[in-house]
Structure 1
Amino acid sequence: MTITTMLAAAATGGFDVEAATRAYLDMVQGVTRARSDAYFEGGYWLVLWGFLIGAAVNWLALHFGWSAAWSAWAARKARRPSVRTMLYWLPYLLVTSLILLPWSIYTGFAREHQYGMSNQTLAAWGTEQATSLLIDLLLGALAVALVYAVIRRFSRSWWLWATGVTLGLLTFGALLAPVFISPLFNTYKPMADGPLRTEILAMAKANKVPADNVYVFDASKQTDRISANVSGIGPTIRISLNDNLLNRTSPAEVKAVMGHELGHYVLNHVGRMLATFGLVFLAIFLFAWWAAPRLLARYGRRWGVREVGDPASLPLLFILFSFGLFLATPITNSIIRINEVEADAFGLDAAREPDGFAHVAMRLSEYRKLEPGKLEEMMMFDHPSGYNRAKMSMEWKARHLNELPPEQRVILRPAPLPAKAP
């Protein structure tokens, strides 16, 4: 990174936030920016097409009587309703996943390689998908059985109980995933001793994060994206960062990222996300509770589905729920983005590395549109844009200019990011 004294007035307390922000934005130029914008904007259409294709597959399961046949098969194999529901889940998941496989290959493998976002071979990607499918078979069967249990038990208020079950399962997943799920896809090793590890743990201790180790996982086998997290609840809390963050960034950038991630924990974003998303789920389940019986009254005989409590209604509930989530996309994006902004502000205070964080924001803009319009960011971004993150960093720097070392009081002009090969 080269440094220029674009503003000699920096030494006397003057600092041009806009010029400093623009210096970082200039890191992402030409082919790199065009590819990033195209990749991210294409994702807008993936949200729509993902909903439509998923809805079409579930409609096929209803229209051709597959769902009714799977339910009848499960009823012959088991008398207990919960076991019947779990057995139903087996053919439902396998058949729908098989039909959706071409779409999954395009979105998860082909398109990622097209934009230089994946390092995986098709075999490696397929192995991970198979692992995910096995996890979905086991945990999904439990989740569906619990939801249908409350549907049968509380016919008038199952929408309320189903929301509670969903939040309970999400909480359980947050507790389980760091220890049992994530290691199925990556190898986690303690970070080597050194000044950077010491500084990360010192930040954690200063902010009362109960973690006594830092783990590094090998995400580079999948992608070049940088990432980190403070995950888990209670005894499963762990600080993790991927090898890309260590290998592609400076210590200042690593500290900036880890300050942000510690912010998520200190600000209780997991709990707040569960609460706010719970309200969204409540509204969607209420919509499904209202719409499903009416649709079954009209089409149920044709589909072979008698009532909502029959697991054969699952494709219909998935269509209704995914429709609700699709409409709520701007809301859910905003919930996440607000939390991210708060974590950004916390991380700047905790790490005190404004240039490190602005530099990271540009690296993240390799696959996120750098300068969207205000409405576009509000509707489609679940994280702040690179522009807003760089500007926030430079505003923090301007406010704390006299507290920084002299060499950091000037506007930095980092070298442009190299174009990634597709």
Structure 2
Amino acid sequence: MKKSLYTTITVFFIFIFIFIFYVRFAEYKNMENLKSNPSQTISLQNHTIVTLPKISDKAISYKKVNLNIWSLNLFLTFAIPVLFLTTGLSLKLKSFVENTTKSFILQIAFYFILFTIINCLITLPLDYYSRFINKHNFGLSNQTFAKWLSDYLKSFSLSTLVGAAFLWIPYFIIKSSPKRWWLYLGLLSIPILLFTTFISPMYIDPIFNKYTSLENKGLEKKIYNQLDKVGLKDSKVYQVNKSVDTKEMNAYMTGVFSSKRIVLWDTTINNLAEKETLAVTAHEIGHYVMGHVWKSIILGGIFTILILYLVNKSGLWIIKNFGKILGFRNLYDIAALPLIVLLMNVFMFLGNPVMNTYSRSLERDADTFELELTQNNYSAITSTIKLHENSLVLPHPSKIYEIWYYTHPSYYERIEFASKYMPWIENKPLKYNKYIKK
């Protein structure tokens, strides 16, 4: 029986290593093709010529380092919970917390805290290298070590305390309804996602950075004009001081009900021309008016139900066949937490292509809306180039990497689309005209 367990684990990791090897091979081949291609130009219908920058050696080197980080991260995603299960560490933690308190709720909380601390200690060197050292090595970060450490500890503490405080609820549901817990937890995730989306902009995000009104009042007025055109005048517009952390650029629209807002990184405002910034905000507004936030919450809940259903089925099979070796007989056993985490990671990994394909379709819709709202293809193209070039993002990945990990179309795809989509010039109806006030 023990041999069968280790054979199953070995076969799984062989699959992961094959996947990593194939992705790395495809990405290196893609990089070679990109390096050999000359600079390209795009001609708009108004005869404006946009020259695409040549791929830099720095961007290639950055991608290679990130591939190494990705490979190790993917391995650790599965290896850490397997380590807890196969070494008996999970059972030792369970025994320790049971000797500490008789309260099942506190046992779950203490176990989770110890589990996350050990997990953090294992991944901390890689987190530090990838998020701090590597960013500085390639000139993408301004962050001091003190700021990085402060943000890291804040994030770790917040997630650990919230998990410790509320993990007893899913355990209670699993124990109370062993056949339908996956459905109840999945349905519960929808209001939780909604609540998190509502409170996060107002109470969680400001823990890490300072949010203020836009210093450029002319730009602020034009963004509010955009919002007014689509019936979102009650939204707020903020800038955030991300320049203390990074040289990269970003913008997003978040929140629901009274918390909805557009947030611009100060690096975006400082590095893009005003029309380019308005192109970026139009894209983010498009996500909101087309209901992408709400769709993501609902579909996220449905996806969670499916994932938890698969976790239940596979978890029960594993316990039935290997429960004696693992040391627990039920999914609601505290020691089974690493198994649940492992199975969730596996099915989320396998579900990536579906979720990211859907995400890319939403991004294409937002790109379309951006062009229809601004009718400024040139700024859409130049802003896209600057955003990606500034972050050392390659024009496009290999197909396998795009399918598995890209939430957006590649930036070559986006600028090619922006160079051709001009229905207002061709006297064709606008796809999303119904969202824009006359």
Segment drifting more, 69-78 vs 158-167: 69-78
Alignment match, 2:94: 71
Is the CA contact 1:333–1:381 (under 8 Å) kept in the aligned structure 2? Answer: yes
2:319 is the alignment partner of 1:288 = no
Segment drifting more, 297-306 vs 201-210: 297-306
Name the CA shift for 1:210/1:92 in 2 (closer, same or farther; >3 Å): farther
Segment drifting more, 222-231 vs 240-249: 222-231
Map Cα deviations across residues 178-203 of structure 1 (whole Å, 9 max, x no partner): 01111111100111362211110011
Segment drifting more, 244-253 vs 283-292: 283-292
Is the CA contact 1:276–1:335 (under 8 Å) kept in the aligned structure 2? Answer: no
Is the CA contact 1:362–1:386 (under 8 Å) kept in the aligned structure 2? Answer: yes
Is the CA contact 1:264–1:339 (under 8 Å) kept in the aligned structure 2? Answer: yes
Cα offset, 1:352, TM superposition = 2.5
2:259 is the alignment partner of 1:245 = no
1:223-234 → structure 2 map (5 Å cutoff): 223-234=246-257
Name the CA shift for 1:262/1:331 in 2 (closer, same or farther; >3 Å): same
Name the CA shift for 1:141/1:210 in 2 (closer, same or farther; >3 Å): farther
2:110 is the alignment partner of 1:87 = yes
Cα offset, 1:111, TM superposition = 2.5
Alignment match, 1:346: 369
Is the CA contact 1:175–1:236 (under 8 Å) kept in the aligned structure 2? Answer: yes
Is the CA contact 1:36–1:365 (under 8 Å) kept in the aligned structure 2? Answer: no
Secondary structure of 2:155 counterpart: helix
In structure 1, how many angstroms separate the alpha carbons of the residues matched to 2:229 and 2:102?
Answer: 56
In structure 2, how many angstroms separate the alpha carbons of the residues matched to 1:58 and 1:374?
Answer: 30
Secondary structure of 2:263 counterpart: strand
In structure 1, how many angstroms separate the alpha carbons of the residues matched to 2:296 and 2:198?
Answer: 15
2:344 is the alignment partner of 1:308 = no
Name the CA shift for 1:115/1:305 in 2 (closer, same or farther; >3 Å): farther
Name the CA shift for 1:351/1:219 in 2 (closer, same or farther; >3 Å): same
1:47-196 → structure 2 map (5 Å cutoff): 47-192=70-215, 194-196=217-219
Segment drifting more, 34-43 vs 238-247: 34-43
Alignment match, 2:226: 203
2:393 is the alignment partner of 1:383 = no
Name the CA shift for 1:331/1:115 in 2 (closer, same or farther; >3 Å): farther
Counting aligned pairs with the same residue, the percent is 24
Letter in 2 for 1:353: N
Give me the TM-score of the superposition, normalised by structure 2.
0.80
Is the CA contact 2:363–2:409 (under 8 Å) kept in the aligned structure 1? Answer: yes
Letter in 2 for 1:347: E
Cα offset, 1:74, TM superposition = 3.0
In structure 1, how many angstroms separate the alpha carbons of the residues matched to 2:98 and 2:171?
Answer: 14
Secondary structure of 1:328 counterpart: helix
Name the CA shift for 1:345/1:44 in 2 (closer, same or farther; >3 Å): farther
Map Cα deviations across residues 96-142 of structure 1 (whole Å, 9 max, x no partner): 11111112122222232333322223332121110101111122224
In structure 2, how many angstroms separate the alpha carbons of the residues matched to 1:402 and 1:267?
Answer: 24
Map Cα deviations across residues 327-360 of structure 1 (whole Å, 9 max, x no partner): 1221222122111111111111222322111111
Aligned length in residues: 384
Is the CA contact 2:248–2:267 (under 8 Å) kept in the aligned structure 1? Answer: yes
Cα offset, 1:170, TM superposition = 2.3
Letter in 2 for 1:386: Y
Alignment match, 1:321: 344
Alignment match, 2:418: 393
Is the CA contact 1:354–1:393 (under 8 Å) kept in the aligned structure 2? Answer: yes
In structure 2, how many angstroms separate the alpha carbons of the residues matched to 1:393 and 1:296?
Answer: 53
Cα offset, 1:243, TM superposition = 0.3
Letter in 1 for 2:313: W
Map Cα deviations across residues 58-116 of structure 1 (whole Å, 9 max, x no partner): 12222232222322333344444333322221111111111111121222222323333
Letter in 1 for 2:408: H
Runs of 5+ unmatched residues, structure 1: 1-5, 404-422
Name the CA shift for 1:30/1:339 in 2 (closer, same or farther; >3 Å): closer
In structure 1, how many angstroms separate the alpha carbons of the residues matched to 2:285 and 2:206?
Answer: 21
Name the CA shift for 1:395/1:95 in 2 (closer, same or farther; >3 Å): same
In structure 2, how many angstroms separate the alpha carbons of the residues matched to 1:336 and 1:41?
Answer: 25
Name the CA shift for 1:267/1:236 in 2 (closer, same or farther; >3 Å): same
Letter in 2 for 1:119: N
Cα offset, 1:230, TM superposition = 1.5
Cα offset, 1:302, TM superposition = 3.2
Cα offset, 1:216, TM superposition = 0.8
Name the CA shift for 1:233/1:83 in 2 (closer, same or farther; >3 Å): farther
Alignment match, 1:357: 380
Name the CA shift for 1:299/1:108 in 2 (closer, same or farther; >3 Å): farther
Runs of 5+ unmatched residues, structure 2: 1-41, 428-438
Name the CA shift for 1:379/1:101 in 2 (closer, same or farther; >3 Å): closer
In structure 2, how many angstroms separate the alpha carbons of the residues matched to 1:383 and 1:355?
Answer: 20
Is the CA contact 1:210–1:237 (under 8 Å) kept in the aligned structure 2? Answer: no
Is the CA contact 1:220–1:243 (under 8 Å) kept in the aligned structure 2? Answer: yes
C-alpha root-mean-square deviation of aligned residues, in Å?
2.5
Is the CA contact 2:249–2:267 (under 8 Å) kept in the aligned structure 1? Answer: yes
Name the CA shift for 1:342/1:46 in 2 (closer, same or farther; >3 Å): farther
In structure 2, how many angstroms separate the alpha carbons of the residues matched to 1:143 and 1:334?
Answer: 32
Segment drifting more, 375-384 vs 144-153: 375-384
Map Cα deviations across residues 161-189 of structure 1 (whole Å, 9 max, x no partner): 22223333322221121011111111001
Cα offset, 1:44, TM superposition = 5.6
In structure 1, how many angstroms separate the alpha carbons of the residues matched to 2:278 and 2:237?
Answer: 12
In structure 1, how many angstroms separate the alpha carbons of the residues matched to 2:290 and 2:318?
Answer: 43
